[in-house]
Amino acid sequence: MIDPDRETQSNGRIDEEDKRRVALAVSGLSKAYPGTVALGGAHLAVRPGEIHALVGQNGSGKSTLIKILAGVESADGGRLTIAGMGEQDIGRYSPAQAHRAGLRFVHQQTDLLADLSVSENIAVVHGYPQRFGIVRWSQVREIAAGAFASLNLKGIDPAAPVRALRPAERTMVAVARAVSDTAERAILVLDEPTASLPPEDVAVLFEALRRVRDSGHAIIFVTHRLGEVFEIADRVTVLRDGATVSTAHITQIDYDALVAAIVGRALERSANRTAAEAGIDILLDVRCLQAGAFGPASFRLARGEIVGLAGLTGSGRTSLLRALFGDLERAGGKVLLDGQPVAPRSTRAARDLGFAYLAADRASHGLFPQESITDNLVAARWSTRLLGMLLRGAEHRSQASALTGTLGVRAPSLTAPVASLSGGNQQKCMMGRWLRITPRVLLLDEPTQGVDIGARRDIYQLMRNAASTGSAALVASSDLEELTLICHRVLVLSGGSITADLSGPELTEPRLAELCVAHRPAA
């Protein structure tokens, strides 16, 4: 446990006393990718027996920092010191070295084998105890039980199949497995362990993590949910634009200060919001709609309007979009399009009504990877002749070539498979597929995920163009900056309800961040 009166509030510096007590220290770490600086001046000092939260916006460099710690990416410069191992040669630091130094990583989607028992999941990684080549199952179970006992974790039956465990317990198994082969104290890195957990499980996991901490391991806890930081962390380090902006003991920072540190006060106001004139001509009227994790909630969308949906995973953003597109059954409510009630029962019906839906996961829900760029672009509706019996191939080709022109897609050949394009160009194709058939309502889920800044700008422009020609767009995004940049108005979702509707000067990134994580209904 850490000693409460030995705390420092260094801004990225590590003082002398700290140096003797750190489990892991990183200073001046830098990493550049062509075109972007992912990290420049990142500092982090983690002590044994503490839970250290690592927070920052998307793109702040958290992932890059963790990848460097894991040895998967190599840093361009900086220093890395690990207790018991001394300073590491940053240029030669490898995953094997990270492992030897006691660093253990547990990812969001834990890679457990659901059909195997808890104890076998541990044995499968660290080796099966054997005698004469035969697995000794009793020992397999003992090792698992020992791993839980050493972490003070209770209540998990080593013989149970992982499938039968609740989500928090699975994370606990992953944690136990990660540290079970370290005699020394481990440095455990948890990357958004709560992202896919139901709320009641978060408390269970936190209780377990406290016990793991109390048994002497250090935990680096990456999260987007600021409420959790105050609940679980002993200290917090904030990254912004690739640099550490502050490290503080949790008792010495308050909520607003943390948000300010994450977002940075100097926000540039975007000049593109000309929404005043929008909002008169209602295109989409959603009344008490209820579907999946969304609702019941009501809102309206005007012609020419770009409305953002902010909220954490599970807040109902995706449910809303899928329900509007007829891909998720409605449990209640009404939707009026242009004053007419619509209730599409299939994606095809929704498409024919003028809805277009871009799913968040391009690879699994958007692309036809081996199909050509042309075939991908025209897939939303084919041009046909002879009563719909034959395709107009030549027309498709000329449309595709015109589209790639307007989209700014750089492709060697339109007959090449779409998977050969870069992520940004693929995403532009996904947008182009829908824009080709001029939809009335664009439903976009994370439209710029994994897309570089240049393509991002192009995609924003495509949205604005569509809006300016009388369509409306509903954009769900975890990138709050993006929402303030492109949206006339942003609805904040929390637990399925709309808790805020921000526009004008109220629509700022810190305000959104606060509303998303706070679970406080806005006035």
Binding status of residue 74 toward another protein by CB under 8 A: no
Could you say which residues in the range 38-57 bind another protein, by CB under 8 A? 38
Q: Which of 185, 452, 464, 510 binds another protein (CB under 8 A)?
A: 452
Binding status of residue 389 toward another protein by CB under 8 A: yes
Planar angle of CA 250, 256, 259, nearest 5 degrees: 85
Answer yes or no: are the C-beta atoms of 490 and 503 closer than 8 Å.
yes
Amino acid at 231: E
Binding status of residue 509 toward another protein by CB under 8 A: no
Nearer to another protein, 269 or 365 (CB): 365
Nearer to another protein, 108 or 139 (CB): 108
Q: Which of 214, 231, 368, 461 binds another protein (CB under 8 A)?
A: 368
Q: Which of 454, 470, 504, 521 binds another protein (CB under 8 A)?
A: 454
Query: Dihedrals φ, ψ of 87, to 5°?
Result: -75, 140
CA atoms of 120 and 177, how far apart (whole Å)? 10
Within 13 Å of residue 300, how many CA atoms lie on the same side as its CB? Answer: 11
Could you say which residues in the range 116-155 bind another protein, by CB under 8 A? none
Nearer to another protein, 41 or 61 (CB): 61
Binding status of residue 367 toward another protein by CB under 8 A: yes
Could you say which residues in the range 229-268 bind another protein, by CB under 8 A? none
Q: Which of 6, 352, 461, 520 binds another protein (CB under 8 A)?
A: 352
Measuring CA to CA, which residue among 179, 241, 240 is closest to residue 213?
179
Q: Which of 25, 30, 60, 205 binds another protein (CB under 8 A)?
A: 60
How many residues bind another protein (CB under 8 A)? The answer is: 73
CB of 71 to another protein, least distance (A): 13
Nearer to another protein, 141 or 240 (CB): 240
CB of 9 to another protein, least distance (A): 26
And the tokens for 41?
């001046």
Q: Which of 120, 169, 191, 509 binds another protein (CB under 8 A)?
A: 191
Binding status of residue 59 toward another protein by CB under 8 A: yes
Could you say which residues in the range 394-433 bind another protein, by CB under 8 A? 410, 412-413, 416-417, 419-420, 422-425, 433
* Nearest-10 Cα torsion for 30, 105, 215, 229: 60
CB of 39 to another protein, least distance (A): 8
Tell me how far the alpha carbon of residue 24 is from its chain's centroid: 26
Binding status of residue 438 toward another protein by CB under 8 A: no
Measuring CA to CA, which residue among 224, 253, 213 is closest to residue 236?
253
Nearer to another protein, 34 or 133 (CB): 34
Q: Which of 451, 475, 498, 500 binds another protein (CB under 8 A)?
A: 451
Measuring CA to CA, which residue among 104, 98, 44, 91 is closest to residue 71?
98
Residues 287-300: b if buried by 16+ CB within 10 A, e if exposed? eebbbbbbbebebe
Answer yes or no: are the C-beta atoms of 467 and 489 closer than 8 Å.
no
Binding status of residue 390 toward another protein by CB under 8 A: yes
CB of 18 to another protein, least distance (A): 27
Binding status of residue 449 toward another protein by CB under 8 A: yes
Nearer to another protein, 305 or 445 (CB): 445
CA atoms of 252 and 30, how far apart (whole Å)? 28
Measuring CA to CA, which residue among 69, 456, 58 is closest to residue 241?
58
Binding status of residue 285 toward another protein by CB under 8 A: no
Q: Which of 6, 19, 107, 154 binds another protein (CB under 8 A)?
A: 107
- 337 beta partners: 284, 340
Binding status of residue 34 toward another protein by CB under 8 A: yes
Nearer to another protein, 148 or 460 (CB): 460
Query: Dihedrals φ, ψ of 101, to 5°?
Result: -75, 0
Binding status of residue 66 toward another protein by CB under 8 A: yes
CB of 436 to another protein, least distance (A): 11
Classified as helix, coil or strand, 339 is coil
Within 13 Å of residue 512, how many CA atoms lie on the same side as its CB? Answer: 30
Amino acid at 490: V
Binding status of residue 350 toward another protein by CB under 8 A: yes
End-to-end CA gap in the chain: 41
Could you say which residues in the range 153-182 bind another protein, by CB under 8 A? none
What is the residue whose two structure tokens read 């409305």?
307
CB of 423 to another protein, least distance (A): 5
CA atoms of 404 and 489, how far apart (whole Å)? 30
Tell me how far the alpha carbon of residue 90 is from its chain's centroid: 28
Binding status of residue 347 toward another protein by CB under 8 A: yes
Binding status of residue 184 toward another protein by CB under 8 A: no
Q: Which of 2, 8, 21, 67 binds another protein (CB under 8 A)?
A: 67
Q: What is the Rg, in whole angstroms, of the alpha carbon atoms belonging to the chain?
A: 25
Residues 6+ apart with CB under 8 A from 22: 14, 45, 46, 47, 81, 83
Binding status of residue 94 toward another protein by CB under 8 A: no
And the tokens for 3?
């000693």
Q: Which of 359, 475, 492, 493 binds another protein (CB under 8 A)?
A: 359
Nearer to another protein, 37 or 160 (CB): 37
CA atoms of 482 and 451, how far apart (whole Å)? 12
